[in-house]
Amino acid sequence: MPNQLAGATDLHARARTALERICRLVDLDATDAELLRLRSNAVFKLRAPIVVRIATSPNAAERLPAVLAVTRWLAGRGFPTVQPADEVNDQPVTLDNVTATFWRYVPSSATPVHTSELGRVLRDLHATPPPSFPIKTLTDPLASIRTTVTHHPGILTADERTWLSQRIAALTSAWNELPFAAPPALVHGDAWIENLLRHRDGHVVLGDWDSVAIGPREWDLIHNYHGQRRFGLSPSDVDAFATAYGYDLRDWSGYDTLMQIRDVYAIGIHIRNAPGDPFSRHELSRRLTSLRNDTTHTRWQMKHE
């Protein structure tokens, strides 16, 4: 059966239907569940202090066991990470090609997180020796969007599809030539400031580990520089991040190329969600136009603003 979220006529309705069916399967109450986020995952908070993440990607059932294992392993080492919910013993849970994971809810503080805190967390993560169990290796960050373009032909015009396919091919070759400065490390894979959460007791924890891998640490760092280019982070935000991490990616010779790769990577979710989400259809058009016109500082949106 097709994924219940991808290609949906109404993404929000399909996400809630998937939540209700999966919660019944594991004997959790989905009544009045609060939708926290709907992008690459549909993320709900239940009445119980549990967060349910429903994945839309076709390979979720294969990759999420490693995500759960990594976060449990990191938590055991005292690393500030979100943790799987013990109430669901056997996860991830897959139903009709929709895969869900269950997490302890982090009660939030009104005090915002800061990029300097994320810089310190990533510095510690990249210094952590990888676990002994298998984790995927990040060798091709554009693999998912390459597949997306192939599997969603009706979302793009023929001209857009040709341009984007050629752009992906050129940047994949460029990625393979990047002069990464350090050996591969354990990387979060989506180390954006929105994925750092402040608990109401004041400490921060890192969430959304779906893209965890062994790979170049530069891939974790570029997200926040890209945040200045596209999502409203200030120059001082990025300076503070670099200072806290102890290295400024802007000094690296591969910086411009990696920024271009991140730009293209960031439109994949909107191709996948466009059939069921008017916001994604509009945002996809905005992002494609800015990329094709080479307007590098056009502001993008991450959600309905």
8 A C-beta contact, residue 304 and residue 237: no
Non-local (6+) Cβ contacts of 110 within 8 A are none
276-298 as b/e: b if 16+ CB within 10 A: bbebbeebbeebbebbeeeeeee
Delimiting residues of CATH 3.30.200.20 domain(s) in the chain: 11-104
Query: In tens digits, what is the pLDDT along the chain, a chain of 305 residues?
Result: 334 454 444 778 888 999 999 999 999 999 999 999 888 889 999 999 999 999 877 788 899 999 999 999 999 999 999 999 989 989 999 998 889 999 999 999 999 999 999 999 999 999 999 999 999 999 999 999 999 998 887 899 999 999 999 999 999 999 999 999 899 999 999 999 999 999 999 999 999 999 999 999 999 999 999 999 999 899 999 999 999 999 999 999 999 999 999 999 999 989 988 887 888 899 999 999 999 987 777 889 876 44
> 297 by DSSP, 3-state: which?
coil
Query: Which residue, 39, 55, 53, is CA-closest to 4?
Result: 55
Pairwise CA distance, residues 258 & 183, whole Å? 17
- Strand-pairing partners, residue 302, are none
- Strand-pairing partners, residue 196, are 206
What is the CATH architecture assignment of 11-104? 2-Layer Sandwich (3.30)
Helix (H) or strand (E) holding 151: helix 143-151
Token pair of 46, please?
Answer: 């239940």
- The pLDDT value recorded for residue 94 is 93
- The pLDDT value recorded for residue 259 is 96
Calculate the alpha carbon distances from 81 to 25, 133, 149, 185, 196 in Å. 27, 18, 33, 17, 9
Query: Which residue, 3, 215, 198, is CA-closest to 98?
Result: 3
- The pLDDT value recorded for residue 305 is 40
- The pLDDT value recorded for residue 304 is 46
In three-state form (DSSP H/G/I as H, E/B as E, the rest C), the secondary structure along 221-240 is HHHHHHHHHHCCCCHHHHHH
Delimiting residues of CATH 3.90.1200.10 domain(s) in the chain: 115-292
- The pLDDT value recorded for residue 265 is 95
Non-local (6+) Cβ contacts of 268 within 8 A are 144, 145, 148
- The pLDDT value recorded for residue 173 is 98
Computed over its alpha carbons, how large is the radius of gyration of the chain? 19
- The pLDDT value recorded for residue 3 is 44
8 A C-beta contact, residue 266 and residue 276: no
Superfamily of segment(s) 115-292: Aminoglycoside phosphotransferase (APH), C-terminal lobe (3.90.1200.10)
- The pLDDT value recorded for residue 303 is 67
